[in-house]
């Protein structure tokens, strides 16, 4: 083989390659000639330039014509070279009239547009401008401007896309309005929620919301606090709620929750043991069940600690009961006093008139003792009913203690020792020393009986300030009190019995040993003094009764003087006797006659006034206070005071003095309490004639009219 062969082969290969290139070039030319291409690419000094052939860009034109945005091409001076239908519609003009006009005629912000024109680049920029329309409203628009690359030496060209922002603005406004509405609603709800929180807090209510599926609950701070958890716990479950109920109440509480899923309502009051101090408290739970797709989903509600309220309610019930019993007792005692008056008066008259044998005299004496005992019993009843004639003295109990001590030593016998604990700086208080003495004696007797005649009795005094809450419990006023405290170390009594001890005729003593009026007297006396009584008893430890008497400003208080009453010799003068009860009138008349008075009897106040107006000489008027018809004794006294000033009037009543004083004029009238003895009547009338009222111990008092 030769070199020639190689050369030949190389030439052949070269020839084939050239033929292939030629074929390709021919094919390319054919393709161009036949219109099979869209664009030709020409290389030049400015780089590769693509020339799109006519009609090749039809899809672009269709897109541009169809799109909702306005499309505009502009010359460098702002002349509109082309615009699509959307732009023409936007500015409300036929598109063929728009072409040739300046874009500046359609834009409000000239300076801004000029700046954008000057700085437009091929990267493009976007700005919000206002498009002017010859007839309609201005259109807020977004305008994007791109500099179109053109060959060197050619005029500048810009492309502009205009987007109508009215809908965007409208939507933005709607969104803003919706947002504002939402914000308002949230604010309203927040306010309502806040008021709810304030209201719940003010009502001392805790709130809770229990999810039944998980058993977990969302709660307020107070909810946890009521259960004794402060600060509140991280989480809470129904089991935790139930575990707080005391064993006796737990099952009922669980059942209530269970039932609420069916009934839709929860409402029960049970006892819990509070965490922390371990106190047993009454709580009231109320709630409602919420359903989802017909199944109970959660229970939400509130909780309150009702312990204080229950206590106050219990006290209120107690005091209402005592008040009712008091009313009844007072009425009964009044009627009995009238009866005793008749019996006692008659017996006394009988005793003075008839010459009796020894045996008859004994019987009469026994009858009179009976009347006296009945009268004493009635006094105790009236004391409980707070219709006792009370002396309202300022007293320092420390001064009275020695007297009390002597009294106690004598009253309770040798088996019981007495211990006195006195507050050295004791405040003065306002009370009736005699009644206090009786009250302490009553308490001492109870203590002695409780300790079966052997043990220790303490009498203590103290200064005490009572706060609002405690005062409410005892239906009393808050403030300073002097406390007198009588304690024994007897067996004590259980709470159910303790609740009844102040009731009249309630006694735990054997039949015949007690009247059941001792503590009633103490209660009535304390209330009437403006104070109250506290009864504390623990089974196995003893009983303490404390009398609280209101503190008073100190004054020099004279101790009451007790004068024995006696029948003063024969009296003279004429007495106008006013009494509606014929039997009582007869008894009184007999007694007056016994004393030597001349008597004019009438049955009513009106009749009495008639007698006086008729000119009959009368030296004294003796009148009952309460009369079934017409004016009362007090009204009569007032009228007499107006018509016959200086004519002495003595009032008598089996009921009460203070209760009946609708005072409108000043002055005081003496009062004689029924039943009275001949001696007491004599003393009272005598005193009246001498120009002063009867003494308190004579069974009398004064009444303001």
Contact set with another protein (CB under 8 A): 17, 20, 24, 27-28, 31-32, 36-43, 47-50, 52, 56-60
Tell me if residue 237 falls in helix, strand or coil: strand
Tell me if residue 282 falls in helix, strand or coil: strand
Range list of β-strands (E), 424-541: 429-431, 455-466, 479-487, 532-538
For residue 124, the minimal CB distance to another protein (Å) is 15
Q: How far is CA 386 from CA 321, 323, 506, 648, in A?
A: 14, 10, 18, 28
For residue 159, the minimal CB distance to another protein (Å) is 14
Residues 6 or more apart in contact with residue 351 via CB below 8 angstroms: 361, 364, 368
Nearest to 619 by CA among 592, 596, 639, 646: 646
Contact 301, 219 (CB under 8 A): no
For residue 162, the minimal CB distance to another protein (Å) is 22
Other C-beta atoms closer than 10 Å to the C-beta of 250 total 16
The smaller minimum CB distance to another protein, of residues 150 and 452, is found at 150
> Judging by DSSP bridges, how do beta strands 70-75 and 157-164 pair with one another?
antiparallel
Q: How far is CA 82 from CA 103, 147, 470, 641, in A?
A: 11, 15, 96, 123
The smaller minimum CB distance to another protein, of residues 3 and 41, is found at 41
The smaller minimum CB distance to another protein, of residues 60 and 290, is found at 60
The smaller minimum CB distance to another protein, of residues 48 and 664, is found at 48
For residue 147, the minimal CB distance to another protein (Å) is 16
For residue 123, the minimal CB distance to another protein (Å) is 14
Q: How far apart are the C-alpha atoms of 637 and 671, rounded to whole Å?
A: 12
The smaller minimum CB distance to another protein, of residues 4 and 48, is found at 48
What counts of helices (H) and strands (E) characterise the chain?
Answer: 20, 25
Q: How far apart are the C-alpha atoms of 49 and 43, rounded to whole Å?
A: 6
The smaller minimum CB distance to another protein, of residues 15 and 52, is found at 52
Q: How far apart are the C-alpha atoms of 438 and 456, rounded to whole Å?
A: 20
Nearest to 236 by CA among 207, 201, 213, 210: 210
For residue 38, the minimal CB distance to another protein (Å) is 4
The smaller minimum CB distance to another protein, of residues 19 and 419, is found at 19
For residue 11, the minimal CB distance to another protein (Å) is 18
For residue 64, the minimal CB distance to another protein (Å) is 12
The smaller minimum CB distance to another protein, of residues 26 and 195, is found at 26
For residue 35, the minimal CB distance to another protein (Å) is 9
The smaller minimum CB distance to another protein, of residues 66 and 119, is found at 66
For residue 134, the minimal CB distance to another protein (Å) is 36
The smaller minimum CB distance to another protein, of residues 50 and 561, is found at 50
* Angle in degrees, CA 34, 40, 44, rounded to 5: 145
Contact 678, 348 (CB under 8 A): yes
Look-up of token digits 């009502």: 203
């Amino acid at each position: 083989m030769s070199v020639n062969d190689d050369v030949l082969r190389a030439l052949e290969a070269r020839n084939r390659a050239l033929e292939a290139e030629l074929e390709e070039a021919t094919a390319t030319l054919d393709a161009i000639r036949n219109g099979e291409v869209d664009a030709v690419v020409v290389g030049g000094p400015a780089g590769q330039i693509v020339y799109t052939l006519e009609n090749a860009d039809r899809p672009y034109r269709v897109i541009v014509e169809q799109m909702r945005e306005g499309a505009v091409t502009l010359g460098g001076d702002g002349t509109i070279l082309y615009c699509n239908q959307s732009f023409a519609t936007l500015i409300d003009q036929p598109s063929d009239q728009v072409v040739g006009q300046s874009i500046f005629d359609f834009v409000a912000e000239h300076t801004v547009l000029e700046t954008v024109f000057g700085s437009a680049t091929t990267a493009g920029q976007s700005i919000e401008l206002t498009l002017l329309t010859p007839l309609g409203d201005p259109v807020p628009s977004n305008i994007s401007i791109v500099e179109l690359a053109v060959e060197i030496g050619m005029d500048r060209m810009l492309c502009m896309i205009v987007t109508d922002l009215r809908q965007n603005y409208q939507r933005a406004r709607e969104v803003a309005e919706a947002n504002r509405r939402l914000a308002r609603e949230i604010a309203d709800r927040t306010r309502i929620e806040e008021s709810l929180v304030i209201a719940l807090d003010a009502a001392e209510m805790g709130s809770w919301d229990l999810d039944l599926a998980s058993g977990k609950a969302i709660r307020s701070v107070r909810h946890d606090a009521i259960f004794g958890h402060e600060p509140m716990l991280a989480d809470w479950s129904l089991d935790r709620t139930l575990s707080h109920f005391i064993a006796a109440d737990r099952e009922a509480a669980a059942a209530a929750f269970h039932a609420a899923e069916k009934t839709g309502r929860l409402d029960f009051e049970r006892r819990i043991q509070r965490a922390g101090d371990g106190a047993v408290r009454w709580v009231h739970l109320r709630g409602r069940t919420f359903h989802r797709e017909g199944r109970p989903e959660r229970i939400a509600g509130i909780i309150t600690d009702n312990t204080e309220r229950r206590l106050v309610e219990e006290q209120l019930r107690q005091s209402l009961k005592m008040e009712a019993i008091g009313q009844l007792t007072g009425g009964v005692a009044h009627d009995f006093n009238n009866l005793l008056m008749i019996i006692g008066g008659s017996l006394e008259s009988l005793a003075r008139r008839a010459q009796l044998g020894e045996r008859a005299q004994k019987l009469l004496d026994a009858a009179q003792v009976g009347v006296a005992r009945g009268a004493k019993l009635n006094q105790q009843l009236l004391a409980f009913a707070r219709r006792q004639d009370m002396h309202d003295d300022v007293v320092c109990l420390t001064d009275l203690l020695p007297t009390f001590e002597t009294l106690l030593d004598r009253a309770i016998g040798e088996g019981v020792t007495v211990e006195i604990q006195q507050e050295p700086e004791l405040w003065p208080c306002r009370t009736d020393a005699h009644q206090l003495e009786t009250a302490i004696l009553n308490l001492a007797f109870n203590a002695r009986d409780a300790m079966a005649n052997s043990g220790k009795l303490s009498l203590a005094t103290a200064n005490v300030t009572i706060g609002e809450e405690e005062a409410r419990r005892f239906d009393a006023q808050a403030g300073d009190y002097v406390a007198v405290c009588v304690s024994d170390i007897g067996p004590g009594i259980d709470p159910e019995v303790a609740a009844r001890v102040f009731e009249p005729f309630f006694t735990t003593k054997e039949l015949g040993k007690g009247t059941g009026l001792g503590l009633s007297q103490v209660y009535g006396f304390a209330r009437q003094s403006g104070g109250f009584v506290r009864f504390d008893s623990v089974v196995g430890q003893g009983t303490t009764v404390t009398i609280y008497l209101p503190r008073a400003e100190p004054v020099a208080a004279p101790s009451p003087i007790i004068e024995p009453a006696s029948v003063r010799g024969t009296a003279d003068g004429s007495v106008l006797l006013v009494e509606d009860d014929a039997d009582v009138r007869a008894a009184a008349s007999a007694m007056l006659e016994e004393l030597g008075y001349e008597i004019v009897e009438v049955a009513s106040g009106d009749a009495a006034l008639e007698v006086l107006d008729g000119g009959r000489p009368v030296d004294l008027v003796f009148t009952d206070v309460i009369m079934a018809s017409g004016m009362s004794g007090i009204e009569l006294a007032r009228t007499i005071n107006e018509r016959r000033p200086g004519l002495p009037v003595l009032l008598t009543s089996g009921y009460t003095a203070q209760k009946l004083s609708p005072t409108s004029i000043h002055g005081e009238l003496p009062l004689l309490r029924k039943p009275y003895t001949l001696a007491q009547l004599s003393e009272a009338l005598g005193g009246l004639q001498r120009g002063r009222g009867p003494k308190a111990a004579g069974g009398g008092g004064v009444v303001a009219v």
